[in-house]
Amino acid sequence: MPHVVCVGDLMVDVVAQLPGPLAPGSDTPATITLHGGGAAANVAAWLAACGTRATFVGRVGDDALGRRAVADLTAAGVIAAVSVDPTRATGTCIVLVDPDGERTMIPDGGANAGLGQVAAAAVLPDDANCLYVSGYALLSGGSRPFALAALAVARERSWTVAVDAASAAPLAAAGSDAFAGWVGQDVLLFANDDEARVLAGLDADPVTSLGGRFGEAVVKNGSAGAHWSDGVLRQSVAPDPVTALDSTGAGDAFSAGFLAARLAGQDVAGCLLAAAALGARAVSRAGARPAYS
């Protein structure tokens, strides 16, 4: 039975759905809601929604938000292998969503930075067969030791490995060569168009370039669809038509849809279609997670 271990960030998202442009120096009334967040935790929740067994490995603070975050994951059907940081608060992210559904995030990683203090081999379940690592875990110096150890353990155990590039700005700050060195080869890389451009530089076809560099690459490009390559072959899928309410977590849902379909034995075309459908489902509701109640 497929069992995916998702390593990385667990956040609580404070989502503000804006009625229009912000009024600097004044007030902009908005609908504000609290949701579970964090890229790796979101992927785990969407995998569970697809019927795939998912374990999330991460860290929270010793506070009410941390207890809520773990309870939300468990309620979503995720196995939560979450340690508690005695000094850092649970990660929190302010998410501003404009009327077109586009989100801007202001994160405070909090306890996620303490994940590097945990021994990977001791907490990764023996019965898993796939590892998903959020790029945030690699881009933060505090969590990077755990992410690198998890990648090493997964390779020792012959697991399938998938990595998401996470976010263009911190990726650019780290540098494409450093990120590629952390990730290694023979992985399934997920990236959006901006992240792909950072990693591929001036290459005319970043999808094929990244597929050849990492093993496989899936580049998500929102309304322009998504593309896969292994460095030689290339396939694309058009997006599902949908009215976007909130794009938060859409890429995480896409990655989960692709992984669930891949582990179920579908070919690349089937994986892309399943991923696009789950991404469309994600943007049609507020928050980064599936509804489970």
Instruction: Give 66-86 pLDDT, tens digit per residue.
Output: 999 999 999 999 999 999 999
Range 3-9+38-91+110-283: architecture per CATH: 3-Layer(aba) Sandwich (3.40)
What are the pLDDT digits (tens) for 164-184?
Answer: 999 999 999 999 999 999 999
- 8 in Cβ contact with 134 (< 8 Å): yes
pTM > 0.85: yes or no: yes
pLDDT at 139 over 50: yes
Compute the half-sphere exposure of residue 249: CA atoms within 13 Å on the CB side of its CA. Answer: 36
pLDDT band at 287 (very low <50, low <70, confident <90, very high): confident
Structure tokens of 34?
Answer: 């609290």
pLDDT score for 292: 59
Please say whether the beta carbons of 108 and 27 come within 8 A: no
- The domains of the chain are located at 3-9+38-91+110-283
Both structure tokens of 196: 């792909």
pLDDT band at 248 (very low <50, low <70, confident <90, very high): confident
The reported pLDDT for the residue numbered 52 is: 98
Q: Is 293's pLDDT higher than 50?
A: no
Helix, strand, coil distribution of the chain in percent, nearest 5: 40, 25, 35
pLDDT at residue 278 is higher than 50: yes
Of 13-17, 42-46, 90-94, 242-246, the range with the lowest mean pLDDT is: 242-246
Q: What is the per-residue pLDDT for 240?
A: 72
What pLDDT, on a 0 to 100 scale, did the predictor assign at position 224?
79
Q: With 50 as the cut, is the pLDDT of residue 194 above it?
A: yes
The rounded percent of the chain whose pLDDT value lies above 70 is 99
The highest-confidence range among 150-164, 209-223, 248-262, by mean pLDDT, is 150-164
pLDDT one-digit tens code per residue, 98-122: 888 888 889 999 999 999 999 999 9
The per-residue pLDDT of the chain, averaged, comes to 93
> What distance in Å separates the CA atoms of residue 252 and residue 279, rounded to the nearest whole number?
8
Exposure string (b/e) for 25-44, b if CB count within 10 Å is 16 or more?
Answer: eeeeeeeeeebbbbbbbbbb
- CA 56, 255, 201, 104 torsion: positive or negative? negative
Classified as helix, coil or strand, 140 is coil
